[in-house]
Chains A and B, each alone.
Chain A
Amino acid sequence: MIRLETDEEKHINFMERIYAGEKIEADDWMPDEYRNVLIKLISMHGISEIMGALPEKEWVPKAPTLKRKLGIMAKVQDEMGHGQLLLRVTEDLIKPLGKTREDIMEDLFNGKLKFHNVFHMEAPTWGDAGLIGWLIDGAAIITQTNMLNASYGPYARALKRICAEEVFHAQHGEAIILALAEGTDEQKRMVQQAVERWWEPLLMFFGPGDAKAVGTSKQDITAKYRIRSKSNEELRQDFFTKYVPRILSIGLTIPDPSMHYDQEQEKWIYQQPDWEKFKEIVRNKGPKSQERLRLRKLSYENNEWVREALARPNDAR
C-alpha cells in the first residue's frame, strides 16, 4: 500500500537534504517558511538590482570620456541583467501562489517590496558613480559570496554568475576612484566627499547586527535553512578588513574617528549607523526613494500600451 508522507515527514526529509548539502530545486517540495523567506530575499535582491540602475543612470551619459561611458554602460546593463535573472528565479517561487511579475511590481509600488537602503540615496557627482561601483558593488560581493552555497539551487547558480560580473564592476569603480584620487585637488575633493556621503549607507548595507536594532531580522531563518552562513556583523567586519586599508592607502579619510582594529577583541570598532534612519529609508522615506519609484512607476504606466500590444495575439489586426 502506498502511504503518503505527512508534512512533518516531508519537513524532516527536506531538512536532511539541505544539511547533507543537496540543492533544492524550484519544483521540489519545500516548507512554506522556506519558500516565503526565499521570495522575500530574492525579490528584494532582484528589485534592488533594477532600482540600483537608477542612481547610476544619471552618470551613464555624463561619464567624462568615451572609455568611461562604455564602462558604465556595460556595468549598468549587467545590473539590469542580474535583476532580470533574479526576477525569473522569484517568478518560479511565486508561481504556486498564483502570482506573477505584475505582482512583484505592484508590491514595489505599494511599498510591500523593499529595495536596498543604498539605492534610496543621492549620487550627486561623478565621484559617487565611481564609489558605487567600487564600494557598493564591493559590499555586494561580500554578502553575495556568503550565499554562493545557498541550499536553493536556482539562487546559488544565479549568484555564481552575478558575483563573477560584480568583480568586474568593482574593478571598474576602483579604476574611476583611483583616477580621481590621483587627480587634481577638485577630483580628490570629489571622491572624499563621496566617501563621506556613502559611509553610513555602506554600514547599513549589511543590515543590523541583531533584531534589537530594528525589531526584526531574518538572519536566524536564513541560517537555519542554509541559505547563508555568516551573520550581518561578520560580513560587515569582512568588509572593513578588505576595504578600510584600501580606502586609507589612496589617501582618503574615513568619516569615523573611532574606527580602528582592536587586536585583543580581533574586530573592527566603529560608530554604529543610525538604525532608526535605516528603518525610515527602507520604508521609502530616503532622500531619493520617491523620485526613483516615480521613474519606475511612470515608465510602467507610460508603456502600458506596449505590454497590452504584446499580450494581444498577432492576428488581432
Chain B
Amino acid sequence: MTELTEPLFKKAVVELLYQLADDDFILAYRGSEWLGLAPHIEEDVAFSSINQDTMGHAAMYYGLLEQLGEGDMDTLSHARGISERKNAVLLELPNGSGHYLKEPRYDWAFTVVRHFYYSHAKKVKLESLKHSSYEPLAHAAVKISMELYYHLMHWTVWFNQLMNAGGEAKRKMLEAISRVEQDFLDVCSLGPLSAEMASLKLIDGDDALMQAFHENMKPVFDALFIPYKGEFQQHSGKGRYGEHTQELHQALATLTEVYRTDPAAAW
C-alpha cells in the first residue's frame, strides 16, 4: 500500500472520497424528497430504504475523510460551501417542479432513469474500488456493494417495466434518458486528479470506468430493442471541479437549515 505520508497520494484519496461522499449525500437527499409522494406505498417503503442506505454510504465516506483529518463528518457534510462540493451536477438537479413540501410535481421517469444510471456507475466504481490501493476504501467498497446490489435490482425492475409498458410511460422514459445523458459525463468523471488516481491504483481511470459502464448498459438496451448510443455530455457544469447549479444552493440551504442555527451545539 502506498503511504499516506506521500502528499500526492493523500491528496488524491481525499479528492476521491469527497466525490464519492458528496454524490451519495446529495442523491440521498433528492430521493428523500420523494417521501410520501412515490407512485405507491410499497415504493415509498422501498425507496426510503434505498435513500437511507445511500445516506449511510455518504456517512461512511465522510467518516473516512474524518479519519484522514479533514474535520468531523457533520462539518464535512453540512458546513462546506457550494464551490467545495464535488458531487456530479446531475445528482443535484431537482426531481421535477415544485418544492418537496409544496406543490411537488415530481417526475418519476427522470427519477428512475437517474437512479438506474447512477447505480450502474456506482457499481462500476465500487468494483474497481474493491482493489483500491487505499485499503479502508477497499473495505468500504465491499460493504457498500452488498447494499447496492439490491438498489440496482430495484431500479432495473422499474427501468424495464416502464420501458416495456409502451405508450406514455415509454415516451417519458425516453425523454428522461436523453435528459440524464446530457449530464452523465460528470457522473463518470473523476475530475482534475483522475490520472493520478489511476496511476496510484486508487481506482481505474476515467476511460476504463466508462468502458465498463457501457459494457453493463448495452445488454439492457439490447434486450429492450432500443439502440444504445452511450454518448454523454455535461451541460449543466462540471461538479468535480466545483461547478454547480443554483439548485445545489437551495438543496444545501434545506439540508443545513437546523445545523446552521448553531453548528457548535450538540444535536
- Is B254 among interface residues, defined by CB-CB distance under 8 A? yes
- Decide if B258 touches A126 in the complex (CB within 8 Å): yes
Q: Which B residues are CB-close (under 8 A) to A110?
A: none
Q: Is B262's CB under 8 angstroms from A184's CB?
A: yes
Residue from the set B45, B101, B103, B255 with the largest chain A CB neighbour count within 10 Å: B45
Q: Is the CB of A61 within 8 A of B254?
A: yes
A302 beta carbon closer than 8 Å to chain B: yes
Question: Is B55 at the interface (CB under 8 A from chain A)?
Answer: yes
Contact A298:B103 (CB < 8 A) given known A186-B261, A314-B164: yes
Q: Which of B49, B169, B258, B262 is close to A62, meaning CB atoms less than 8 Å apart?
A: B258
A260 CB to nearest B CB, Å: 33
Q: Is A133 an interface residue (CB 8 A)?
A: no
B167 and A63: CB pair below 8 A? no
CA distance A64 to B257 in the complex (A): 8
A259 at the interface (CB under 8 A from B): no
Whether A80 contacts B45 by the Cβ 8 Å rule is yes
Please choose the segment from A8-16, A31-39, A52-60, A145-153 that sits at the chain B interface, where 4 or more of its residues have CB less than 8 A away.
A52-60
Stretch from A66-74, A243-251, A278-286 contacting the other chain: A66-74
**Is A136 part of the contact surface with B, judged by Cβ < 8 Å?**
no
- Contact among B38, B103, B172, B258 with A63 in the assembled complex (CB-CB below 8 Å): B258
B254 x A66 contact (CB < 8 A): no
Q: A60-B32, A73-B55, A295-B37 are in contact. Are A66 and B49 (CB under 8 A)?
A: no
Check B41–A80 contact: CB distance below 8 A.
Answer: yes
* Nearest residue, chain A, Cβ from B259: A64
Contacts of A80 in B (CB 8 A): 35-36, 41, 44-45, 48
**Contacts between chains A and B (CB distance < 8 A), count:** 149
Which residues on A sit within 8 Å (CB–CB) of B193? none
Q: A84-B41, A295-B104 are in contact. Are A309 and B165 (CB under 8 A)?
A: yes
Q: Are A309 and B161 in contact (CB under 8 A)?
A: yes
**Cα separation A84 to B167 with both chains bound (whole Å):** 29
Q: How far is the CA of A262 from the CA of B168 in the complex (A)?
A: 66
Asked whether, in the complex, the Cβ of B48 is within 8 Å of the Cβ of A76, the reply is yes
Q: How far is the CA of A58 from the CA of B100 in the complex (A)?
A: 8
Nearest-neighbor residue (CB-CB) of A74 within chain B:
B52
Contacts of A314 in B (CB 8 A): 161, 164-165
Classify chain A's interface size: 35 or more
| Interface presence of B190 (CB below 8 A) | no
Q: Which residue of A lies closest to B224 (CB)?
A: A317
Query: Once the chains are docked, how many angstroms separate the CA of A81 from the CA of B48?
Result: 10
Cβ proximity bits B12-41 to A, threshold 8 Å, 1 near / 0 not: 000000000000000001001101111111
A232 to chain B, nearest CB (A): 28
Residues of A within 8 A of B36 (CB): 50, 53-54, 57, 80, 295-296, 299
Complex contacts, B40 vs chain A, CB 8 Å:
303, 307
Interface contact A61-B105, CB-CB below 8 Å: no
The CA of A302 and the CA of B38, in the complex, are separated in Å by 10
The answer, yes or no, to whether A179 is at the interface (CB within 8 Å) is yes
Interface SS, A side = helix
Say whether B106 contacts A302, CB under 8 Å.
Answer: yes
Assess A61 versus B167: contact at CB under 8 Å? Given A77-B48, A179-B266, A295-B101. no
Q: Say if the beta carbon of A223 comes within 8 Å of chain B.
A: no
Kindly state whether residue A312 has any CB partner on chain B within 8 Å. yes
Q: Give the residues in chain B near A171, CB-CB below 8 Å.
A: none
Q: How far is the CB of B211 from chain A (nearest CB, A)?
A: 30
Give the contacts of B80-126 with A (CB-CB under 8 A): 100-106, 108
A306 x B42 contact (CB < 8 A): no
Give the docked Cα–Cα distance between A62 and B251 (Å): 10
Residue of B nearest to A68 (CB): B267
Q: Tell me which of A70, A176, A186, A296 contacts B56 (CB under 8 A).
A: A70
Contact A186 B165 (CB under 8 A): no
The reply on B51 being an interface residue by CB < 8 A is yes
Contact B32 A73 (CB under 8 A): yes
A303–B267 CB distance below 8 A: no
With both chains docked as a complex, state the minimum distance between the C-beta of A68 and any C-beta of chain B, in angstroms: 6
Cα of A80 to Cα of B259 in the assembled complex, Å: 26
**Complex Cα gap A200–B41 (Å):** 30
Q: Does A132 contact B (CB under 8 A)?
A: no
The answer to whether A317 touches B164 (Cβ under 8 A) is: yes
In the bound complex, what is the Cα–Cα distance between A309 and B164 (angstroms)?
9
Contact A57 B104 (CB under 8 A): no
- Smallest CB gap from B162: residue in A: A309
Question: Which of the listed residues B52, B62, B265 has the most CB atoms from chain A within 10 Å of its own CB?
Answer: B52
Cβ contact within 8 Å between A299 and B38: yes
Cross-chain pairs A/B with CB under 8 angstroms, 9 sampled: A53-B44, A57-B101, A62-B254, A67-B59, A184-B262, A184-B265, A303-B37, A308-B169, A316-B166
Task: Identify 19 new A-B residue pairs, CB closer than 8 A, beyond the known A58-B101, A179-B267, A314-B164.
Answer: A57-B35, A57-B101, A61-B29, A61-B33, A61-B254, A69-B55, A70-B59, A84-B44, A87-B41, A180-B267, A183-B266, A187-B262, A302-B105, A305-B172, A306-B39, A307-B39, A308-B168, A309-B162, A310-B39
Chain B residues near A (Cβ < 8 Å): 29, 32-33, 35-42, 44-45, 48-49, 51-52, 55-56, 58-59, 62, 73-74, 77-78, 100-106, 108, 161-162, 164-170, 172, 254-255, 257-259, 261-262, 265-267
